[in-house]
Structure 1
């Protein structure tokens, strides 16, 4: 019997290895970063934090909008790819990556 994985309270439950996006998720997990230009492109395209999480003040009350990025079914794979790109730039190329850190 498969167990359900809950990554975040807002993310829908999913079973590992099942779903139409599984090939894309596996491809992103296996993608290696071995090119400096590609690593910079990844770091520019994938944000370091969710741009949608906000605290809004409406009529004297504060409303928190949660990180909607966690609803993206390939979010974890994209964050992993960004981390591999940062690691390649720092360790493999010896570059300063502070401009890509939030």
Structure 2
């Protein structure tokens, strides 16, 4: 039997409801739409090293991505805002 120390935090993020456009905008601004760590290292035009996306190593990755998606949906559906600037 394993014990998940992050379960309360996961549950809190999953249950977090967005009712304020400024909170939704803040979430969309602070959580990147793509993993910022994936890189290709090139030397003289040739790729010599590929660093894979390390975001998926984050134990809360799925919850954070889901939170960002819910914030985008709130802004688009409830507030009628154009969310293309966050994509």
TM-score (norm 1): 0.78
Aligned partner (choices 32, 35, 54) of residue 50 of structure 1: 35
Higher relative contact order (CA 8 A, sep 6+): 2
Contact 2:40 2:47 in 1 (8 A): no
Q: How many residues align?
A: 86
CA RMSD of aligned residues (A): 1.7
After TM superposition, give the deviation of residue 39 of structure 1 in Å: 0.1
Residues 58/38 of structure 1: CA separation in 2 closer, same or farther (3 Å cut) = same
After TM superposition, give the deviation of residue 61 of structure 1 in Å: 4.6
SS at 1:56's partner residue?
Answer: strand
Distance 2:48 2:40 in 1: 6
Bigger fraction of residues in helix: 2
Distance 1:71 1:88 in 2: 27
Aligned counterparts, 1:28-39, within 5 A = 28-39=13-24
- Return structure 1 stretches of 4+ with deviation > 3 angstroms: 58-61
TM-score (norm 2): 0.91
Distance 1:24 1:90 in 2: 26
